[in-house]
A and B are shown apart, each in its own frame.
Chain A
Amino acid sequence: MTYYSVVIPAYNAARTIAETLRSVVAQSLAPAEIIVVDDGSTDETELAARQSGVEFIYIRQDNAGPGSATTRGFAHCAHPHIATVDADDLWLPEKIERQFRRLEEMPQLAAVFTLWRTFRHGEPDDGKGTVGPGWSRTTMLVRRDVALAVGPVIDPPGNRGDMVDWLGRAREDGHQLGMIDEVLSLRRILPGSMSYGRDPDRDRGYLEVARMAMLRRKLKNAGQG
């Protein structure tokens, strides 16, 4: 039961996607299929992916956001587990194998995540980046039935918070999410991209996620009342 699909949503990822793909095929437990969902890139994302030499299924859609592209990828997956990764991040070679081992040890888990460490684009990973729990698309290995049951990955305004919303909904539905306490994924920091700045247009996405969570809670309480 270690067959898994990989879904890579990609938007203008020509600079990085080949490296991401190579980290996927370098897994000690190889994927059964890789699906790249090109979210209407305007750069050479497709060409860069093909030049990586890695085989994959290519799907292109009009630009709609990473959540939409992820959902599109889920729909095409043919295997019982799905691993996802952003088109600029990397996996360490034993990531998937460790995650399947965790699923064997704890079959009650619906999905397994890993710690991740940051690295700077254009520089080799020196192991000194910030380490944290990767509750994210890049580290996720999820049962396909769970992914489909939780439903679409919704893109909030500004494309911030899509996985916060989706993982929050998964937990609300009672799915248990596990975290492997080991760095098995790398998160790329692009130069000039550290403006995790309080950008009101983008932060609005998180507010929308919070708003949706409160509305769901209100509906649930009303149903119980």
Chain B
Amino acid sequence: MGFSAIYAVSSTDIVYETFDGDAVVLDLASGRYFGFSDSGSCVWEALIAQVPPASLVGRACGGGELSADDLDAFVARLTEFGLLSLAPEAAASALSPDLAGRLATAREALRIDMHDELADLVMVDPIHDVDEPAGWPVVKQ
């Protein structure tokens, strides 16, 4: 992992959101979805905000510090799953105070969990992608 390496979400098939501090990522191309430990959610959010992983080494995390090995392994998993890829043209960002605070109070080790039990259903979900006047689905406010 080069010190200046920056990552970005690898494709538009990868959609994500954070619910009450828990990041959820879905690969619409495979139907697989991913959840994280609390520290994993923070690091995922940092990485997609273009924070270089190397800049997270030594950051306070759950009473300890993030190690280079742990971050390397975590980023490797994210890239293996096809969620992130290198973004050599991207400009580095600094870790936000909010994320730094959440990371410091995280209680679990870096972890990502892959789930595929809904994959066959996601892959074929009826995508009658029509606009409101034409029928479902409509976007509810």
Contacts and interface: CB of A to CB of B under 8 A. Distances in A.
A60 interface: no
A164 B127 contact: no
Interface residues of B, number: 35
Contacts of A135: 120-121, 124-125
B125 A136 contact: yes
B134 A12 contact: yes
A86 B139 contact: no
A214 B13 CA distance: 20
A164 B138 contact: no
A195 B140 contact: no
A190 B130 contact: yes
B60 to A, nearest CB: 26
Contact of B115 (A43, A171, A214): A214
A167 B121 contact: yes
Contacts of A63: 138
A134 B125 CA distance: 8
A60 to B, nearest CB: 16
Interface of B: 12-13, 15-17, 19, 22, 24, 26, 28, 33, 35, 115, 117-118, 120-122, 124-140
Closest 8 CB pairs of A and B: A159-B137, A210-B33, A198-B12, A164-B121, A203-B15, A193-B130, A12-B135, A196-B127
Given A168-B118, A210-B24, A211-B24, 18 more contacts: A12-B133, A12-B136, A43-B133, A65-B140, A86-B126, A135-B124, A137-B126, A158-B137, A158-B139, A160-B125, A164-B122, A171-B117, A190-B134, A193-B130, A193-B134, A194-B129, A206-B15, A211-B22
